[in-house]
Structure 1
Amino acid sequence: MDDSIFVILALVAFGLAISGPVAFALAIAQRGRITALEQRLARFERMPPAAAPANEAVSPVARPEPQPEPVQEVPSPTPRVPPVPAARPAPEPKKPGPSFEERFGTRWTVWVGGIALAFGAALLVRYSVEAGYFGPAMRVVSGLALAVGLLATGEFLRRRLRGSLPVPATWPDIPAMVTAAGTVALFGTIYSAHALYGFIGPEAAFIALGATGLGVMTLALLHGPALAGLGLIAAMGTPLLIGKGGSPWPLTVYLPAVAASAYGFAWFKGWRALAVAAGIGATVWALVLGLASSTATASGAAQLHGVIQAALASLVFALPHRLTSPEHAKPDRFGSAVLLVAMAVLIALIGLTPKAGYGPLWILTAAAAVAIPAVAGFLVAPLAAGLVIAGIALCGVIVLWVPPPSENWVSVLIRLDTTDPGVLIAVAGLSAAGIASAGALRLIGGGRLPLATVLIYAAGAALAPLAALGLTYLRLAQAEVSSSFAVTAGVLALAMTWLAATFRAQREKTPADALTIGLGAFASAAVAALALGLVFAVSGGSLTVAMALAALGTGAIARRLDIPALRWCVAGLGVVVAGRLAWDPMVVGGELGRTPIFNWLLVGYGVPALAFGLASRIIRLPGTRADAPPLIAQALSLLLAAFLVFFEIRHALHGGDIYALDSGLLEHGLLSLSALGFATVLVRLDGVHGSPVIRFASLAFGVIAFVQSLAALGLAVNPYFTDEPVAGGLVFNEIPVAYGLPALVALALARAAQATRPPWYVVGAGGVGVVLCFLAVTLLIRHGFQGAQLGIDRETSQPEWYAYSAGWLAFGLALLAYGLLRQSLAARLASAALVGLSTLKVFLFDLSGLDGPLRALSFLGLGAVLIGIGLVYQRFVFAPARAG
């Protein structure tokens, strides 16, 4: 029997499967019309009858006949009947939500049916291949026929159903679903004709698949954005379906054409999601091409593709603001995010492409990463952040500028050598000048711009040249003294001074906020450029010092010229300094000298700490609570001061080598002492200033000190566990400094924090103080018996065991006395804990471990102390009230 009969039966069954949903859809359309008519009829039936007019009770034409006068009687009160208000139409009942039946019949069946159509088409083709009913040519023709049939059915349903009642937005579109199934079948057939059967070559398949994708996006103008998304995915995925091999250059034309088509459809129909999807696809392809590039040709194609896609995306998301008036030019966050992503992709491409890809296209891509956001920010005021993004891109270009081809470098943040330094200087100089000029032009003519937009323009124009100069100095001068860079910084300072003078003259003629902010921004940039020049000219300086001095100068200018917005420039410089510290906390490298305290650390950390501390006071607005700028400056001042103390300790204890890998008991003790001292001072200052930064810093330093004291002093460097020798004599040695001083400061912190800090903080400080005191007493006793080395494996004599009991009891009595004098419950409880520990030791160890008079003395002493403590509690703590 011929097997073709089974194929015919399968096609007939498929036709019946299609006709069922079609008939069901048509029935649903007619049912919708009937339902609408029934609802209108019900509304008419629920309307109340119109009330009769009041003048219809007595007609003005028919007057009443006269009646005889009644006999006068005593009037009796009659109740007044209130007037009956006119009937109001009943409110229309709230429309109930869709029922389960509606969800099932109008939504779930359509979605599942569309998916089933696509899978059914694929399974039918697969079955025909496995059974061998048709040859390859017939299979392709059948697939094309099936795809065309589904597309025609979708168009037929669109024309029939779209003319009926409007479909609710929550219902899936049946014509679009059938059309989508047809497009899937068409893509599968074309791909099979190329990949499975070889009927068409890769070029023809590429063109056919790409044209199909664009055609699907065109059909989306009739069927909605979901079909456009399907077409975009198919068109973007076409190069992956064709396979590897061939030149990547055609992709630089094809992929931007697909993205541009999607952008055009999105623009025409207002489908923002389609534009975003096109941008995501372009970004993914740019990164894929960059990662896959192993030759100069592939690198050039990836770079050119990235430039075209970035320009397209910037143009599309900048066009909506072409008619925005200056008064309404508020920053567009979404458009700015698009510029940021485009810039990041280009920076990633110049970083991903190999050194073989360095050439004119590499330099063009680097310049485009700066120029595209800068041009968008200059031309479109709501995208003013483009200037700031351009400055960030310029920094990335300088950092990633290609090193010599012969260098076997490992990827680091700053590569201290570079290819074509002259080209780097030209790109950096021209880009920085362009960004500064664009920002200055927008500010000098931006009297009607919103304040946020003005601030963004000012930040980009002032900070980009400074950042470019600093990074170029690091790349070419390698952080050494450079007179040429010092002169360049002086020239930049003169240029910024000239711009500030220009803005000041213009402000005197036509006062405006933009001119005032521009004046302050360029004046601050002039101060910062001078600070950079000092760093470039003097050995041992650092960018951290320069930025801190620039922040102080900016704060002084903001206070002198009364420009509150400049306070945010101080905050911005503070954020840069924080980032610099996060990258490398050791900002001062090289030879620091061996002199304790008076060394370059005072310059690298002390000067910035002082500068930000003064700036926080200068920029604080009088009569108001401190806001973000002074708080940021205050936080950096505290952080830099902490780093200064930390590195000064290391410098003093390691002979000037702050990079030493080892650390001992004395160093950790001084670190704990410093952290506890910081916390205590900040708790005291918080009562005066009421700053949230001071409050948080006091908590942070306290917690760090608690952990440092217990983990390091209690375990890590405890000489009892490490057996490291303790330096010093019998009394004056490392133990009182490492344990005793931090213990006293911790107890002082607990007392100072009682009124202003949480209970856990107070208990923690007191507990750390008691533990450190206990360790100090114990280790001092062991040092007196053992000498310099106190290791756990050394033999302990009976007098030493007895001394521990006596020392612990003495410490407990001292705590009890303090608790009674200061009326401190915590101290009395700590005393009770120590006395309890001593009691356990005497009964559990001394009873069996000691002999002779020491055992008797141990019990006698313990008994006397316990009785004395009981007497004190009876007479002074819980004494009964005397009778009157």
Structure 2
Amino acid sequence: MELLLLIAIVLAIAWQRKTSHRLARVEDELLAIRQRIDTLTSTAPPDAAIAETEAETLAPPAEDTAEAAADAAVAIAAREDAVHDLKPLHDKEETSDTLESNLGARWAVWVGGVALALGGIFLIRYSIESGLIGPETRLVLAGVFGLLLIGTGEAIRRRMIEPIADRYGNAMIPGALTAAGAITLLGATYAAHGYYGFIGATPAFVLLGVISLGTVALSLLHGQALAGLGLAGSLVTPALVSSTAPSPWVLFTFLAVTWLASAAAARLRRWTLVPVLANLGLGGWVLAYLFEAFTPDITPPTLALLVVIAGTGFVWPGHRAEEPSSSTETWWRFLRRPPLGITLSLSLVVLLAALAMLAVDEGYSILPAFAAASLVAALAALGAGRSYAVWPALLSAVGAVACIGLMALILLDQAPLPVTEGGTAPPLSFGLEIAISLGLGGVFTFLGFAFLRRTGTLEPKLGALWALSMSAVPVALATISFLNFGTLAADWIHGLYGLALGAILIGIAQWRILRSEAGEADRAANLVALGSFAGLAFALHALTTGITTTILIAVIGFAYVLATRWRPWPAFPWAMGAAIVVVFARIAWEPTLVGPNQLSTTPFWNALLPGYGIPALLAVLAAYQLRNWQDHRARNFLQAVAALMGMMALVVLVRHAMNGGVLDDSVATLGEQSIYTLLTIGFSATLMTLDTRAPSPVFRYGSMIAGVLATANVLSLHVFVLNPYLSGESTGAWPFVNLLLIGYLLPALSYAGLAYYARDKRPRLYVMMLALAGALLGFLWATLSVRRFWHGENIADWKGFLPNETYNYSVVWLLIGVALLVLGSRLDARSLRLASAGLVIITVLKVFLVDMSNLEGILRALSFIGLGIVLMGIGLFYQRILARRPSSSPELPPVPEAKA
């Protein structure tokens, strides 16, 4: 079997050499054709010159000269077209690969190389099984065979034809022979150590490393594939050599040297795949060591990763991949800046390693937190130092928040040390954790400023990314530190940090605007200015509590609005909007602002008035101050939050007053809900009025949304959920001024007024909705008032119906229908006329279905008589109204004239 395999290998090599000779002949023929084409191209100008000389010598008439020149131009153009037609064919033949070339020139080379490597292995196996030679001799012969293969590959490389080497650079015979020799040497060295024990761990480790690094060095002559083989051998070497006293320092020093060697080779040949494999391989070793070692030493892997980050920034890609950004670059292309694989793999490896360092330590030492922060800071420095390092800049910001957040979660359950006999409990201090958190945030601010100063004007997208990171990351890290390690009452360390951060950022924004060609419209400067508000807002949360924080947040936001008088920066209005959003968040967290136990029960004159009223007032003033602001998005946003804040303040004050001075989540009564409905209707009218004076989409659509919300409350709460007929709630002792007045009649009148006011200002369907909602509430008020007249304060459904009560319903409904008909005719409101028709139909059905069966005697007769009189009156009314309309009226089509 082994003999047949050797014969097959020899035949494969012979066939490959024959194919190579055939391809060499084809290359020679293509080269000859190309030279002939170049000759034809070079002879065109002399022909043209001769034609021109002959034309001047003969000097024919002008017309003949023009015709001859045209013919010559056509001939020259035809010759050039022929040459251009031949060139693409030549290029296509030169660059395209056929099935024969792939099989003969590429596949055969690599399969031959694999066959050689397997042949050496099988030869060793055959010698072992046959007992021909001893293990020492076999290993020596294997080493000699590997060196022979490498030497043969080098000898063949020096005799290769240059065109063939350029075309089949990734499938050359020298590279295959060198790869087979390297595998043979690696296998022989491992066998000498692992199977026979001829050499110790240290010599084996050194030999394997030398062979692997030598393979990487030879890859400079044979291509990137051989470099990958050498890199793989280097990465596998530590796993192949066992030691009784493994040292992480030796391991990661070797891996770092291997990475630097591969990076140097990649720099010389501008490779991009080998560095990615090197990053992933070293990262895999770091993660394996951290999770498999019993007590891992954090320092060696940290230093190795720092070497990788520094090597990426200075060795390869280094400054060679720096390219000026294009003004037409999209965000998608921005995120895919080359070399994408190198930067993305490095960022992921560093981020995962930093998180793993924190996870395996479980908070017993500060060293993992310091190591993780160092790695994140180094990655951020790479992102700030190189324009292609988009992903290091982005993932370093994410990694900083993730690492500090993981550190806080790990230390969340930490408790003070137990008290010893005769001693006191040591205080639990997180000073180092606070220093790491705040210091890492300061690093991002410094790196952001350094980037903006160096290349910020040339890199608008990356500058905007760093402007966001240099403010968002420090605030996020300081917030995590304050919530987990700080003093929630008044923390001066975090508070002063926030104040300093806000001042520094506003100074950087001012410096940036003075240097930028865009001036006040510079995106990065405005993002930094907005970040200064975030720093000041954090400082307020660290230094103050409760209602004071809520009010001062709005005050700081309004200060930014006032600053637009001297510095009309586009970011300042957004600071006020952000302040109101923070106020909303604080209200959602604690609606009472001072705590339920500290809130006074006095209606209106309590902590809710300044806590809600001052931010609402400042928001309204800010919206008025910026009513003519050029940025319509900021102006509309401010108007929206001002309207919402004002509405919320009124609702909360009413809620507190209607619940006996208690602000909780209890179900509202009909009276309280009616006040909310009236406020919403008034809010809609106010926005409508503002829209007529200062047109704005916020006012326009906000007024309509408020009207729709009010109508939804009516249909769901007033009609069903809180209806005294269904809920059994008492309507009050007074005959007219009672719950029905505030629950139904006042909202009905408000809806009617709003519908009348919106007739020429809002869409017709919206006005019809308001009018029908008012008519419905008026109908409910009249109906429930009739029931209250017969049943008293409690009008619950379990009391049933009285005969006189049933008759009164018919009378009242008919009167309401007639009133709606008259009002709709006066105001030319079709919605009211439709409501009248619907109510009359309901009354007819009620009389015929209910009164006929339930009423007796005179009441039944009066019910039908009254219904008939009203219906005939309505018919007569419509006949007269329609008869008075012109023939062109859309509601009454013209009557066709009778034909004679």
Q: Distance in 2 between matches of 1:555 and 1:224?
A: 53
Counterpart of 1:310 in structure 2 is: 376
Tell me which of 571, 574, 577 is aligned to 2:577.
574
CA shift for structure 1 position 688:
1.4
* 2:601/2:661 contact within 8 Å kept: yes
The question of 1:433 aligning with 2:496 is answered no
Superposition pairs of residues 334-733 of structure 1, within 5 angstroms: 337=394, 340-341=397-398, 343-354=400-411, 356=414, 359=430, 361-380=432-451, 381=453, 382=456, 389=469, 392-401=472-481, 417=488, 425-426=492-493, 428-429=495-496, 432-433=499-500, 436=503, 440=507, 443=510, 447-450=514-517, 451=519, 452=522, 455-456=525-526, 459=529, 463=533, 466-474=536-544, 478-479=545-546, 541-559=547-565, 561=566, 563-565=567-569, 568-585=571-588, 586=591, 588-590=593-595, 591-621=598-628, 627-733=632-738
Counterpart of 2:306 in structure 1 is: 256
**Larger deviation: 353-362 or 596-605?**
353-362
Q: Distance in 1 between matches of 2:437 and 2:736?
A: 67
Counterpart of 1:408 in structure 2 is: none
With the length of structure 2 as denominator, give the TM-score of the two structures: 0.67
Q: Distance in 2 between matches of 1:665 and 1:257?
A: 71
1:132-164 CA distances to partner (integer Å, 9 max, x unpaired)? x999x99x99x9999999999999999989965
* 1:310/1:343 contact within 8 Å kept: yes
SS of 1:564 mapped into structure 2: coil
- How many residues get paired? 751
Q: Distance in 2 between matches of 1:10 and 1:825?
A: 100
Over the aligned positions, Cα root-mean-square deviation in angstroms equals: 5.8
1:307-346 CA distances to partner (integer Å, 9 max, x unpaired)? 2123212322222479xxxxxxxxx998875664354245
Q: Distance in 1 between matches of 2:797 and 2:145?
A: 86
Superposition pairs of residues 39-78 of structure 1, within 5 angstroms: 56=54, 59-60=57-58
Check 1:15–1:864 CA distance in 2 against 1; reply closer, same or farther (3 A cut).
farther
Counterpart of 1:283 in structure 2 is: 351
Check 1:39–1:543 CA distance in 2 against 1; reply closer, same or farther (3 A cut).
farther
Counterpart of 2:296 in structure 1 is: 247
Counterpart of 1:228 in structure 2 is: 275
Residue type of the alignment partner of 1:429: L
CA shift for structure 1 position 743:
2.9
Superposition pairs of residues 3-42 of structure 1, within 5 angstroms: none
Check 1:19–1:241 CA distance in 2 against 1; reply closer, same or farther (3 A cut).
farther
Check 1:210–1:52 CA distance in 2 against 1; reply closer, same or farther (3 A cut).
closer
Q: Which structure 2 residue ranges, 5 or more long, are not aligned?
A: 130-134, 177-221, 322-337, 415-427, 457-462, 883-890
* 1:388/1:456 contact within 8 Å kept: no
CA shift for structure 1 position 816:
2.1
Check 1:761–1:303 CA distance in 2 against 1; reply closer, same or farther (3 A cut).
farther
SS of 2:362 mapped into structure 1: coil
Counterpart of 1:237 in structure 2 is: 284
CA shift for structure 1 position 725:
2.9
* 1:314/1:339 contact within 8 Å kept: yes
1:829-867 CA distances to partner (integer Å, 9 max, x unpaired)? 232233333333344444444444444444443333333
Check 1:752–1:370 CA distance in 2 against 1; reply closer, same or farther (3 A cut).
same
Counterpart of 1:788 in structure 2 is: 793
Q: Distance in 2 between matches of 1:862 and 1:157?
A: 116
Q: Distance in 2 between matches of 1:392 and 1:545?
A: 23
Check 1:676–1:639 CA distance in 2 against 1; reply closer, same or farther (3 A cut).
same
Tell me which of 871, 875, 880 is aligned to 1:875.
880
Identity of aligned residues (%): 24
Residue type of the alignment partner of 1:581: F
Q: Distance in 1 between matches of 2:780 and 2:150?
A: 85
**Larger deviation: 631-640 or 583-592?**
583-592
* 2:772/2:832 contact within 8 Å kept: no
* 2:818/2:836 contact within 8 Å kept: yes
Check 1:258–1:836 CA distance in 2 against 1; reply closer, same or farther (3 A cut).
farther
Residue type of the alignment partner of 2:379: A
Check 1:458–1:158 CA distance in 2 against 1; reply closer, same or farther (3 A cut).
farther
SS of 2:652 mapped into structure 1: helix
Counterpart of 2:210 in structure 1 is: none
Counterpart of 2:198 in structure 1 is: none
SS of 1:267 mapped into structure 2: coil
Counterpart of 1:266 in structure 2 is: 317
1:579-621 CA distances to partner (integer Å, 9 max, x unpaired)? 2313424363244544433443332222322223223333444
* 1:706/1:768 contact within 8 Å kept: yes
Q: Distance in 2 between matches of 1:456 and 1:581?
A: 24
Q: Distance in 1 between matches of 2:61 and 2:766?
A: 97
Check 1:393–1:109 CA distance in 2 against 1; reply closer, same or farther (3 A cut).
farther
CA shift for structure 1 position 224:
2.9
* 1:570/1:629 contact within 8 Å kept: yes
Q: Distance in 2 between matches of 1:781 and 1:262?
A: 86
* 1:606/1:644 contact within 8 Å kept: yes
Counterpart of 2:805 in structure 1 is: 800
Q: Distance in 2 between matches of 1:228 and 1:872?
A: 92
Check 1:415–1:692 CA distance in 2 against 1; reply closer, same or farther (3 A cut).
farther
Q: Distance in 1 between matches of 2:789 and 2:152?
A: 100
Superposition pairs of residues 754-769 of structure 1, within 5 angstroms: 754-769=759-774
Larger Rg: 2
**Larger deviation: 443-452 or 368-377?**
443-452
* 1:724/1:789 contact within 8 Å kept: yes
**Larger deviation: 155-164 or 648-657?**
155-164
SS of 1:354 mapped into structure 2: helix
Check 1:781–1:318 CA distance in 2 against 1; reply closer, same or farther (3 A cut).
same
Check 1:449–1:349 CA distance in 2 against 1; reply closer, same or farther (3 A cut).
farther
Residue type of the alignment partner of 1:341: V
Counterpart of 2:213 in structure 1 is: none
Residue type of the alignment partner of 1:610: L
Q: Distance in 1 between matches of 2:732 and 2:143?
A: 91
CA shift for structure 1 position 572:
0.6
Check 1:363–1:700 CA distance in 2 against 1; reply closer, same or farther (3 A cut).
same
Q: Distance in 1 between matches of 2:637 and 2:492?
A: 33
Q: Distance in 2 between matches of 1:840 and 1:38?
A: 102
Q: Distance in 1 between matches of 2:651 and 2:564?
A: 33
* 2:680/2:710 contact within 8 Å kept: yes
Residue type of the alignment partner of 1:240: L
Check 1:614–1:17 CA distance in 2 against 1; reply closer, same or farther (3 A cut).
farther
Q: Distance in 2 between matches of 1:876 and 1:647?
A: 49
Q: Distance in 1 between matches of 2:96 and 2:50?
A: 43
